[in-house]
Structure 1
Amino acid sequence: MTEQNTRVPTWIFVLINHQVRQDAMAGHELWLDEIIAASSRFPGHQGVKILTPVGSHNQYDLAVRFAGQGRARCGENRI
């Protein structure tokens, strides 16, 4: 019998999905800059990916990556 390598990921994503009114898009882009800067100050922060709306859609998806679940919970509670 062989031993399986059961590795647990050392990172975790916090996913944020939200819809923005068309008249608030410009302000929302500024807010995104602030959120990205704020999240980068949390321990274990490893980056942010933003999926912006396409065409007439208004849904933004953000994936904030942290070094582990405990660090993600810390950041998630403050974002």
Structure 2
Amino acid sequence: MSAETIDLNSVVTLVVHHKVRCEALPSYEAWLRRTVAAARRQPGHLGVNVIRPDGEGAMFTTVVRFARAGQLQAWIDSRERAELVAEVLPLLEEGDHPLIHNDAEFWFTPEHGNVRQPPKWKQALLTYLVISPLTMVIPPLWGPAFERFPVLAGVVPSNLLVTLCIVLPVVYLIMPWVTRRCAGWLNAN
């Protein structure tokens, strides 16, 4: 699926938390590689990120994005995923915990259900701080292309191209990374 055909408003995310038994870590890693490969083969798959434990504990968080809710639901309901989940359950301390989010709410959804969402002003400030520098950097990068191809320099085509070059990295790369790095501030009282 190309970037031009993705409706960013319909992107959905499956987040799975697994607390792995310490003695089962090598088996879990092997299972995880097979599961990630299986998810990548699914229609509408947009990417997988695995957040491995840092330091103590063995809590893995896997984030899987799909272009549409129906495509994600097909993966969740698939026989292949059911077999993979059944295979991993003996390796886990607390079972399989999948959560589905649309991408906009996922940015600021706390990792653990007992923590509330950050205040809206913090969400707005962080989003502003991420998008503002991009709005200053991306348009000049397109300058040479706009000079060479004047048809792209029109108000509509240039705005569409610049916006696409800002939105895609923000949604898929920057905001997920920034919200993880700023989690302490976002969730502080």
Q: Note whether the superposition's TM-score is higher than 0.5.
A: yes
RMSD: 1.5
- Please give the alpha-carbon distance, in whole angstroms, between the structure 2 residues aligned to 1:75 and 1:49: 16
Aligned equivalents of 2:17 and 2:49: distance in 1? 12
Deviation at 1:26, TM superposition (A): 0.6
**Bigger helix fraction:** 2
TM-score normalised according to structure 1 size:
0.85
Size of the aligned set, in residue pairs, is: 73
> Which has more radius of gyration?
2
* Residue 56 (structure 1) shift: 1.6
Q: In the alignment, is residue 43 of structure 1 matched against residue 4 of structure 2?
A: no
Runs (4+) of structure 1 moved beyond 2 Å? none
Distance 1:40 1:27 in 2: 20
TM-score normalised by structure 2 residue count: 0.37
Q: Structure 1 regions of 5+ residues with no counterpart?
A: 1-6
Q: Describe the SS at the equivalent of 1:30.
A: helix
Give the alignment of 1:2-21 within 5 angstroms.
9-21=9-21
Q: Which blocks of at least 5 consecutive residues in structure 2 are unaligned? A: 1-6, 82-189
The structure with the greater share of residues assigned to strand is 1
Residue identity (%): 30
Query: What is the alpha-carbon distance in structure 1 between the residues aligned to residue 15 and residue 43 of structure 2?
Result: 18
1:37/1:53 Cα in 2 relative to 1: closer, same or farther (>3 Å)? same
Indicate the residue corresponding to 1:70 in structure 2.
70
Partner SS state of residue 24, structure 2: helix
Q: Which has the higher contact order (CA 8 A, sep 6+)?
A: 1
